[in-house]
Amino acid sequence: MHVIEIQGLSKDYPVGFWKKQLRPALKPLDLAVEQGETFGFLGPNGAGKTTTLKLLMGIIFPSSGSARILGKDFHDPEIKRRIGFLPEQPYFYDYLSAPELLDYYAQLSGVPQTGRKQRISEMLDRVGLGDVGNKQLRKFSKGMLQRVGIAQAIIHDPEVIFLDEPMSGLDPLGRHEIRELIQSLKDVGKTIFFSTHILSDAEALCDRVAVIHKGELRGVGVVNDLRSSAAGKTEVIWEGASALGSVSNYALEPHVTGDTVRATVSTELLDTMLERLRQQHARLISVTPLHGTLEQYFLSRTSDQEPVRV
Amino acid sequence: MNSRLSAITLNTFREAVRDRVLYNLIIFVLLLVASAPLFGQISIGLERLILVNVGLSSISVFGILIGIFIGIGLVSKEIEKKTLYTILSRPVRRWEFIVGKYFGLVLTLVVNAILMSVGFYVALLISEHKLTGADGHLLIAIYFAVLEFLMITAVTLLFSSFSTPIFSAIFAFALFVIGTFATDLRNFAAAAHGMTKWFATAAAYAVPNFASLNVIGQVAHDQPLGGSLIVMNTLYALLYSAAVTAGAVLIFERRNLK
């Protein structure tokens, strides 16, 4: 079942002195996310990730297109009882304590008063803030605020959780903590849609990713498939540029630096190529099997020139 | 009132109460009221008149100023700090947000007015050593000040729903000043001719009529106020506030938030 279905959703902003020109912030976007999936929405800064999330949350209105969340129109206020949202670099009412803030958001999400206090306490424990007491949020560190942000997004036990750059601006420890939190949500079967430009986080957490660049969807892929897309290739580095001619039929993308050559070769042809290199008295420096990375896929999708081969 | 509306109302009230600048204003007003007997000492025979004028004007003017001061940031601050994102991603209708903010600020101003009024009556008791029935009539002026708060809050919220805090403050304060002279504007409209009359009449009815809500002079001189004035002023303030708040909702419903 598709939990999120986006059909031709776009957003244009009027620009110029007379506001007559339109600048597309998001070109018509079609995307579907399955139930229980952790879906990464990747793109460089200014790619249109936050615009997409703001459209889905009803913060801005689309120029065209529509979306359905959990089978209902995304503008239906009732659907918002079943979704949670963490904005990018969130700021919360800093005059409130964490329990007060969660109580406020729980009320807005329709969490009944009975058991609300208990739920807030459990939620604070879950995000590692069980001991903050009534300290006001203005005294919280960035990492603590991000954890409060996750808590407010899930206080009403939503089925779908939208996270906008959840690791942005955090130190490695903070990133690790948030990653663990997202993993725990994934483990209990929540559907998670999160935008990020930190590829290692997406690679560690996501089942599928979409790459968006300049407001345009550039590709959607399964993370495991992307990882294996470069399997079957090996990188070989040797000294002896003169030997390159004898292996030119096997060596892919050769790079020559002085007398050193770096090239990739199909694993089936590796032995043959190594034999030829020995015959040419080339000195072998390294032989490394290659694995595809999300970074390679990301770079290939966001490059406006020739795509990089994965 | 539904639970979302009451939650937004109480949070707005809580924000104002925890705002330290607000305390400074309240302390200033309380000091002013407390020092009112000193004005009387330099105005022999006019102690009560001066005290009532200074006290009631303080309650009104400072309530208005606090209303504008807090009101200008009610919506824009939530947009600027993106706290609104976490509100609108919940089952909260945009009108609930605006109306909740309105009620929250009105609640703040009413509580302020009550605190200031207590200070004012204490000062009156110290000055006169007893309270009389005439002092009870002063409550009408305080009630009218609360009606002013209803209107200025709606006006400020309207500007806050589409403008920056600075422009909202300028617009709201300008409208307050014009509204204070609403009677003069109506007299001008009555005396004008042609297009000028048409524009002046439209302007006279569009601006909030704060002039009719200012009865401090009358109650200070123990002049009687008719029951119909209270009813009409109440109806006017409620209708005007509702219409302006509805305007703020209409604007906000269509607004793309940055």
Q: What's the sign of the alpha-carbon dihedral A157, A162, A164, A168? A: positive
**Which pLDDT tens digit goes with each residue over A44-82?**
888 899 999 999 999 999 999 999 999 999 999 889 999
B103 three-class SS: helix
**Which pLDDT tens digit goes with each residue over B189-237?**
889 888 888 998 898 889 999 999 999 988 888 888 888 999 999 999 9
pLDDT of residue A52: 96
DSSP state of A265: E
**Which pLDDT tens digit goes with each residue over A273-286?**
999 999 989 998 88
**Which residues of chain B make contact with A91, given a CB cutoff of 8 A?**
81-83
Burial class for A272, CB neighbours closer than 10 Å (0-12, 13-18, 19+): middle
Of A61, A105, A162, the CB nearest to B256: A61
CA distance B143 to chain A (A): 31
**Tokens representing B141?**
């002026």
In whole angstroms, give the CA distance from residue A243 to residue A229: 29
Please answer whether residues A92 and A127 qualify as being in contact, where contact means their C-beta atoms are separated by less than 8 angstroms: no
pLDDT of residue B1: 63
Interface contact A108-B87, CB threshold 8 A: yes
In the numeric block, the tokens 């007015």 are attached to B113
A258 Cβ under 8 Å from any chain B Cβ: no
CA distance B106 to chain A (A): 20
pLDDT of residue A295: 76
**Which residues of chain B make contact with A110, given a CB cutoff of 8 A?**
3-4, 91
Spatial CA neighbour of A136 closest among A175, A92, A105, A167: A92
Please give the torsion angle defined by the CA atoms of residues A77, B15, A146 and A131, in that order, rounded to the nearest 10 degrees.
-120
Of A83, A95, A107, the CB nearest to B4: A107
Interface contact B11-A93, CB threshold 8 A: yes
Interface contact B84-A59, CB threshold 8 A: yes
pLDDT of residue B44: 64
Interface contact A59-B88, CB threshold 8 A: yes
Of B8, B91, B256, the CB nearest to A80: B91
Q: What is the mean pLDDT of chain A?
A: 88
pLDDT greater than 90 at residue B21: no
**Tokens representing A14?**
């009027």
- CATH topology (fold) of A233-289: Alpha-Beta Plaits (3.30.70)
**A2-223 architecture in CATH?**
3-Layer(aba) Sandwich (3.40)
pLDDT greater than 50 at residue A308: no
Spatial CA neighbour of A220 closest among A294, A147, A134: A294
CA Rg, chain B, in Å?
A: 20
Confidence of residue A143 (pLDDT cuts 50, 70, 90): confident
Give the β-pairing of A83-86 and A72-73: unpaired
Confidence of residue A306 (pLDDT cuts 50, 70, 90): very low
In the numeric block, the tokens 């948030």 are attached to A178
A154 Cβ under 8 Å from any chain B Cβ: no
Amino acid at B132: T
Comparing alpha-carbon positions, the chain A residue that sits nearest to B18 is A95
pLDDT of residue A304: 66
Spatial CA neighbour of A98 closest among A143, A142, A147, A170: A147
In whole angstroms, give the CA distance from residue A303 to residue A251: 24
The domain ranges of chain B are 3-253
Please answer whether residues B4 and A108 qualify as being in contact, where contact means their C-beta atoms are separated by less than 8 angstroms: yes
**Which pLDDT tens digit goes with each residue over A184-229?**
999 999 999 999 888 888 888 999 999 999 999 988 888 877 766 5
